[in-house]
Amino acid sequence: MLRFNSSPAAVSRETGGELGGALVGEPPNGAIPVWPVQRIFAPLLGATTTVVHESWRVDGPVMYGHCEDIVWRKAGGLLFGVIELDEADFKGTPERSSLQAASEEAYRRIFRLLDAEQVPHLWRVWNYLAEINLETQGLERYRQFNVGRQDAFLECQRGATGNVPAACAIGLVGGPLSIAFMAGETPAVPVENPRQVSAYNYPADYGPRSPTFSRAALAYLPGQELLFISGTASIVGHQTVHPGDVVGQCREAMANIDAVLGEAKRLCRSEPFELGKLSYRVYVRQAGDFPAIRETLAPLIGKAEIVYVQADICRQDLLLEIEAMASRTLESR
């Protein structure tokens, strides 16, 4: 059984049952755990602590390793890993930026590891990069990342449409390219949103390569069903709606998540997932918008677990992005 926990408590270095996780917020004063942990150094909003510790725990023995800058752990046909690459270590050219090169190499390494460990199917990926909306070499950095990511998918024979993982791509003020990922022995079931064009089918207006992710994914372990909802924003079709209106964008993002839950209901093996029973992470571009976002979400999700982070979104006209996950026990038949 895979269990998710989010806590403001001090980070423990105990490794029993820890598959991996994240530190979200300001850099902690204490030691970083020895297990795979993604460091997301961005301000928390509305929190009583400066850092949140998120972890995935499993029952039974855990294998671990370090390969090509990836720290990873594996248990019961499930693998969690984290890789951080410094763009300065990759030489750019006029045709290929250092970020594109780093992104492609990061995903190539991830796929090599998954093949070697026989867990070839990516379920969920968390991508963080500095200055995501900055334009360099004539192309926004998020679009450079998309080129590198898709090139690696194709080179490693993963395909870039259809059965691709749930994911997010978020901008931080600085730091390395940081990618955390969860993969399994069996493929996840991709879930798309009828209100939106699938991201991998976006027109060329959004860059030379489309983003390689599904809107959500259903994944399975023995006796358990997991739902991963990708970073979701105020997009209908493929266009941003409610520009400049943070409340409108928040409501639209939640309408998209609700639509994804409707599609998941057709595909899932458990009882339908509900808005008020998901765990959320909300990325807010401007800290001053936080009170309005929290007030808008309150009647929609009730007392659901939620973490607010100040960070940049993949389009400059998007003011927030919301991701979510949930787990259900499957009854024996």
Tokens of 168: 């997010």
Instruction: Please state whether 265 falls in left (phi above 0), alpha (psi between -120 and 50) or beta.
Output: alpha
User: What is the longest distance spanned by two Cα atoms in the chain?
Assistant: 59
Across 31-35, 68-72, 288-292, least confident range: 31-35
How high is the mean pLDDT of the chain?
Answer: 94
Percent share of the chain, pLDDT over 90: 88
CA–CA distance, 89 with 318 (Å, rounded to integer): 31
Residues 6 or more apart in contact with residue 90 via CB below 8 angstroms: 98, 99, 101, 102, 105
pLDDT value of position 17: 87
pLDDT in tens, 299-308: 999 999 999 9
pLDDT value of position 35: 81
Q: Which amino acid is at 311?
A: A
Average pLDDT for residues 8-15, to the nearest whole number? 54
pLDDT in tens, 113-123: 999 999 999 99
The band of 5, judged by pLDDT with boundaries at 50, 70 and 90, is: confident
Say if residues 259 and 197 touch (Cβ distance below 8 Å). no
CA–CA distance, 54 with 12 (Å, rounded to integer): 11
Segment 7-15 long-range contacts (CB within 8 Å, at least 24 positions apart): 7/52, 7/53, 7/54, 7/55, 8/47, 8/48, 8/49, 8/51, 8/52, 8/53, 9/53, 10/53, 11/51, 11/53, 15/62
CA–CA distance, 254 with 293 (Å, rounded to integer): 11
pLDDT > 80? residue 277: yes
pLDDT in tens, 163-185: 999 999 999 999 999 999 999 99
pLDDT value of position 252: 98
Please give the model's pTM, rounded to 2 decimal places: 0.96
What stretch of H or E contains 251? helix 246-267
CA–CA distance, 13 with 35 (Å, rounded to integer): 8
pLDDT value of position 261: 98
pLDDT value of position 6: 85
> Which residue out of 26, 321, 323, 331 is catalytically annotated?
321
The band of 1, judged by pLDDT with boundaries at 50, 70 and 90, is: confident
Residue boundaries of the structural domains of the chain: 2-329
3-state helix, strand, coil in the chain (%, to 5): 25, 40, 35
Q: Which CATH code, of 3.90.76.10, 3.30.1330.40, 3.30.70.1230, 3.30.2320.80, is assigned to 2-329?
A: 3.30.1330.40
pLDDT value of position 199: 98
The band of 16, judged by pLDDT with boundaries at 50, 70 and 90, is: low
User: What does R_g of the chain's alpha carbons equal in angstroms?
Assistant: 19
Task: Give CA separation, 326 vs 276, 291, 306, in Å.
Answer: 10, 25, 12
pLDDT value of position 331: 77
pLDDT in tens, 184-202: 999 999 999 999 999 999 9
Task: Give CA separation, 274 vs 251, 263, 285, in Å.
Answer: 16, 12, 26
3-class secondary structure per residue, 68-105: CCEEEEEECCEEEEEEEECHHHCCCECCECHHHHHHHH
pLDDT in tens, 31-63: 667 789 999 999 999 999 999 999 999 988 999
Q: Which amino acid is at 176?
A: P
pLDDT > 70? residue 68: yes
The band of 333, judged by pLDDT with boundaries at 50, 70 and 90, is: very low
Q: Verify whether residue 14 is a known catalytic residue.
A: no
Average pLDDT for residues 126-130, to the nearest whole number? 98
Task: Give CA separation, 119 vs 39, 75, 165, in Å.
Answer: 24, 10, 14
